[in-house]
């Protein structure tokens, strides 16, 4: 009798975990990218940067409604050689910029020289999705 109860509880927790996993899983065709800015471009500071997304949506950080299962918010990674830990909230500093309000563009002041930019979508808790939505990393030159 005791074993039945344990198995019942285990089954319920497995179903719940699977459902939650699906909820934050973007479709295969989803992608994020920069609009109007390409690797190798030479630009002036402040750099105008526009973010694009296909197959998934944008919603502010902290969203509690169902839309959070199909949308996230942008993070701009500046001059990063490696990605942050994709199983934890994205750091918040001058090199990991959160667009909590669901913004889709920014003007970023950068010193002259070579810089890299990359977009990473995060969920309502600032964690990357599974699989993560990451743009190509672009290299730009600031005059
Ligand atoms: Cu965030």
> DSSP readout, 40-70?
T-EEPSSEEEEEEEESSEE--TT--SGGGGS
What's the CA-to-centroid distance between 72 and ligand 1, angstroms?
9
Pair of tokens at residue 126: 């600032």
At residue 23, the pLDDT reads 52
> Residue 89 in contact with residue 68, Cβ under 8 Å?
no
Neighbours of 90 (CB within 10 A): 22
Between the CA of 125 and the centroid of ligand 1 the distance, in Å, is: 7
Q: How far is it, in rounded angstroms, from Cα 52 to Cα 104? A: 7
Tell me how far the alpha carbon of residue 88 lies from the centroid of ligand 1, in angstroms: 11
Give the Å distance between the CA of 96 and the centre of ligand 1: 9
* Residue 123 Cα to ligand 1 middle (Å): 7
Cα–Cα distance between 4 and 79 in angstroms, integer? 54
Cα 7 to ligand 1 centroid, rounded to whole Å: 38
- In the reported structure, the alpha carbon of residue 16 is separated from the centroid of ligand 1 by a whole-number distance in angstroms of 25
Domain positions in the chain: 2-142
Residue 20 half-sphere exposure, CB side, CA atoms within 13 Å?
7
- CB of 103 closer than 8 Å to CB of 74: yes
Q: 2-142 is classed in which CATH architecture?
A: Sandwich (2.60)
> Which residues of the chain carry a pLDDT beneath 50?
1, 3, 5-22
């Amino acid at each position: 009798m005791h074993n039945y109860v344990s198995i019942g509880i285990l089954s319920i927790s497995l179903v719940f975990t699977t459902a939650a996993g699906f909820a934050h899983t973007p479709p295969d065709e989803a992608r994020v990218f920069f609009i109007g800015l390409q690797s190798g471009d030479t630009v002036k500071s402040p750099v105008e940067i526009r973010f694009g997304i296909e197959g998934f949506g944008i919603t502010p950080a902290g969203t509690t409604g169902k839309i959070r299962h199909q949308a996230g918010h942008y993070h701009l990674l500046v001059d990063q050689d490696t990605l942050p830990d994709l199983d934890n909230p994205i750091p918040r500093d001058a090199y990991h910029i959160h667009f909590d309000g669901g913004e889709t563009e920014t003007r970023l002041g950068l010193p002259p020289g070579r810089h890299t930019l990359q977009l990473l979508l995060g969920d309502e808790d600032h964690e990357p999705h599974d699989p993560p939505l990451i743009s190509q990393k672009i290299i730009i030159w600031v005059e």
